[in-house]
Structure 1
Amino acid sequence: MSARRSLVWLGLTPEPEQELPAVVAALRSAADDTPRPGLVAAERRRVERLVLRGTQRGWLRYLGEVTDLVVAAADATSPVSDPRPALLAGEVVLDHHRMLIGLPGDGYRHTDGQRRALERALARLRSLPFRHPEPRSTV
């Protein structure tokens, strides 16, 4: 690791690395009712690699991908049966991006468009009627 590499971004909050892998896997496999364990494990490995060996730029690029998934889930033409994964992912990323204001550098300015997009997407997701899955028959 370079002595010039800034690590200040790692001190923000652990929520993204804890919460995002499962919900991002669910968003990536939106066609499935539940994410496959392999997808969750792959997301965990990706996040771990970004946190342990990555840079703030790479981390923000990943969070940009998550933002795109949340915005797509909130799209009026997107069939969202369960908005909870997108809501959680959006709230976690939005909170993270808001905290960037306290860090040196241009991360806060760089994520301005994502913050606005997430605020709109979260408002839309909160307004969606949630269809609870049908109970599975045990008979």
Structure 2
Amino acid sequence: MAETVTNRGKYRALLALMTTLGTNAQLIVITGTQVGVNSATVNTVADLDAIAGVAIHTERKGLGGATVAEDDVNNRAALDYANLSYAAAPGVTAQGVALIDGSGASDAARDVLAIFTTGFPQPMDGGLNINIADLLRAS
């Protein structure tokens, strides 16, 4: 027996996520260390912040320009947002970013949906530009 999530199923799952997040989709910057952040058991921003050596940068960015696309050629679907930039923060090094649901009243109630550390660390002395292409991809 085999299980298959169709391209349309992937598309609809990402579309539902985009709709659920709405204007609460945010990206936060992880500073300090990457050690321990890529854990599937991190549920909230407070959980992420509680990892030894990890800190959360104060500037949180709302994500806009959301689109979901079905890609039948490559058998996947992707959720994209518009690129964004963080202000210069001299002496701060970004270790990664996290996609969160920023609708909670506190970091203990703000869910972490994905953590990205590929291409990091990056110094934030001159700011940080995040080029978002296929932020979440269902393959």
TM-score, normalised on structure 1?
A: 0.25
Which one scores higher on RCO, CA 8 angstroms, separation ≥ 6? 2
Task: Normalising by structure 2, report the TM-score.
Answer: 0.25
